[in-house]
Amino acid sequence: MRVLLVGMSHRTAPLDLRERLAVPDPIPGLRKLVASEEVDEAVILSTCNRVEVVATTRRLEAARLRIRSFLRRELAECDLGPEVDECLYEHVDGDAMRHVLRVACSLDSMVLGEPQILGQTKQAYRSALESRAAGPVLGRLFQQAFATAKRVRTETRVAERPLSVARVAVDLAKRIFEELSDKRALLLGAGEMIEAAVEALRGAGLAQIAVANRTPERAAELASRCGGTAHGLDELPRLLAQADLLLSCIATTRPLLGAAEIEAALGSRRVPLLVIDLGVPRNVDRAVDRLDNVYLYDVDDLGAVAEENAAARQQERVRAEAIVEEQKLRFDAWLATLRAVPTIRHLRERAERIRASELERVAGHLALGEAEREAVEYLTRSLVNKLLHAPMTQLRRAAEREEGGAMLEVARMLFDLDSEPDLDSDPGGEPESGPDREPADGA
């Protein structure tokens, strides 16, 4: 049994190609794949950054060709042509397993540590289960991947620190305010930066939003999108006096708000004000930070925090990779034991056939009643089980090691498993004078 992964990602394929291969519902494709002789089990992972097929097969070369052909001709609505091949990568066995674990842990993502990929991987596996395309090997592999992702998230800090300016702003707000749902945000400007930040803040519970802009129409547009109220800049002092959070990104040549304006607006109010100035040039004078209850962060501050967070995540990558390697070794060990399964099954079947055949032959001489027959059945079965227990255990253990293949070969040779047994021969001798006869060697 081999594990094969064929796919493309943001590292190897441009967006327009990834777009054409993106599949909203992988189930029909999965059914096609496992219906073919070359593929035993399959999972299709399709996200905006990657399309990958993970499969198990007993015919590696044929499966490789089949999956490449599937990706080029069957997954997309049209034949994508040979340029797809140049963007595809392949991983086999250990490398394929490692890749699946790394993907689930977001170590192969565009943004290291992003959380969405784990959910997408789980969904891909669910689809494979629904279409009966995932069997025991991929089942075990994906469960291992989910467990690895959990370990990486709990044991390392690879996913902890926010990387986008918007997410850093949310973190800041949570540091200052216990709840965002009862806080008022004032958005100064109505551009994309402001919109991205306010979306993140709304996701964290912020509900009361006022948008102030030079152009009232743009303020109204953003206010309607984020469920806020639109205002002109002339209302700024009044709005500022009510705000707990000021998000500013407006085109200006000099700071629009100085310490005096903010101090005057706050008046006797003693609750904190978080000011996030995303404008370049800055909209809020740096001197504002000297005010006691005002926390001012400009775009450089947020960017610096985001950069430090990214650097911290990269440092954690080494620890995460070590966990992936450890988990991969566990899966390797489990997969290796599967190599022993056909030999063990064969050995057991052979022993059972010999036992049944010998019992049948001897039973004719013994005139056994029902109870005696059951006792002899039990005895012979027990003997066979006990005799086989040690070799089967050793074979399983040996299969986990590199030299396990040789050991399995030796076992097949010793027990002559590759030829049909001669059940008529009598290597041990046939009882000649019934059950009362003493054994010849006196044992």
Catalytic positions, please? 48
* Span of 55-63, 166-174, 366-374, 421-429 interacting with other proteins by CB under 8 A: 166-174
Contact at 8 Å (CB) between 429 and 413? no
Least distance (Å) from other proteins to the CB of residue 167?
9
Q: Which is nearer to other proteins, 172 or 256 (CB)?
A: 172
Q: Using the rule CB under 8 A, which residue among 168, 259, 278, 411 binds other proteins?
A: 168
Q: Using the rule CB under 8 A, which residue among 295, 355, 384, 421 binds other proteins?
A: 295
Residues in Cβ contact with 66 at an 8 Å cutoff, skipping those fewer than 6 apart: 33, 36, 38, 39
CB atoms within 10 A of CB 179: 10
Q: Using the rule CB under 8 A, which residue among 7, 26, 162, 228 binds other proteins?
A: 162
Residue the block writes with tokens 């086999």: 92
Q: Which is nearer to other proteins, 175 or 386 (CB)?
A: 175
Query: Is residue 279 a contact residue for other proteins (CB under 8 A)?
Result: no
CA-atom Rg of the chain in angstroms: 34
Query: Is residue 301 a contact residue for other proteins (CB under 8 A)?
Result: yes
Q: Which is nearer to other proteins, 204 or 354 (CB)?
A: 204
Length of the chain: 443
CA distance 185 to 208: 6
Least distance (Å) from other proteins to the CB of residue 242?
17
Strand ranges (DSSP E) for 10-161? 41-46, 50-57, 89-92
Q: Using the rule CB under 8 A, which residue among 98, 297, 335, 395 binds other proteins?
A: 297
Site for other proteins in 37-76 (CB under 8 A): none
* Span of 32-40, 277-285, 296-304, 432-440 interacting with other proteins by CB under 8 A: 296-304
* Span of 128-136, 287-295, 398-406, 410-418 interacting with other proteins by CB under 8 A: 287-295
Query: Is residue 103 a contact residue for other proteins (CB under 8 A)?
Result: no
Q: Which is nearer to other proteins, 121 or 309 (CB)?
A: 309
Query: Is residue 263 a contact residue for other proteins (CB under 8 A)?
Result: no
Query: Is residue 26 a contact residue for other proteins (CB under 8 A)?
Result: no
Q: Using the rule CB under 8 A, which residue among 215, 293, 314, 382 binds other proteins?
A: 293
Burial class (CB in 10 A: 0-12, 13-18, 19+), 381: middle
Contact at 8 Å (CB) between 133 and 34? yes
Query: Is residue 305 a contact residue for other proteins (CB under 8 A)?
Result: yes
* Span of 43-51, 107-115, 285-293, 370-378 interacting with other proteins by CB under 8 A: 285-293
Site for other proteins in 107-126 (CB under 8 A): none
- Give, to the nearest 10 degrees, the angle between helix 136-155 and helix 299-366: 140
Q: Using the rule CB under 8 A, which residue among 268, 419, 425, 433 binds other proteins?
A: 268
| Residue 19: both structure tokens together | 């777009």
Least distance (Å) from other proteins to the CB of residue 49?
23
Burial class (CB in 10 A: 0-12, 13-18, 19+), 183: buried
Strand partners, 50: 9
* Span of 42-50, 113-121, 172-180, 346-354 interacting with other proteins by CB under 8 A: 172-180
> Backbone dihedral region of 280: left (phi > 0), alpha (psi from -120 to 50 degrees) or beta?
beta
| Residue 278: both structure tokens together | 């995303």
Three-state SS at 307 = helix
Q: Which is nearer to other proteins, 236 or 302 (CB)?
A: 302
Least distance (Å) from other proteins to the CB of residue 121?
22
What long-range pairs does 387-392 form, CB within 8 A, spacing at least 24? 387/351, 388/347, 388/348, 388/351, 391/347, 392/344, 392/347, 392/348
Using alpha carbons, select from 112, 114, 100 the residue that is nearest to residue 145: 100
Q: How far is CA 339 from CA 38, 334, 352, in A?
A: 19, 10, 21
Query: Is residue 289 a contact residue for other proteins (CB under 8 A)?
Result: yes
Q: How far is CA 85 from CA 68, 79, 337, in A?
A: 7, 12, 34
CA distance 211 to 227: 10
Q: Which is nearer to other proteins, 268 or 433 (CB)?
A: 268
Site size toward other proteins (CB under 8 A) is 28
Query: Is residue 174 a contact residue for other proteins (CB under 8 A)?
Result: yes
Query: Is residue 309 a contact residue for other proteins (CB under 8 A)?
Result: yes
Residues that bind other proteins (CB under 8 A): 157, 160-162, 168, 171-172, 174-179, 268, 270-272, 289, 292-293, 295, 297, 301, 304-305, 308-309, 312
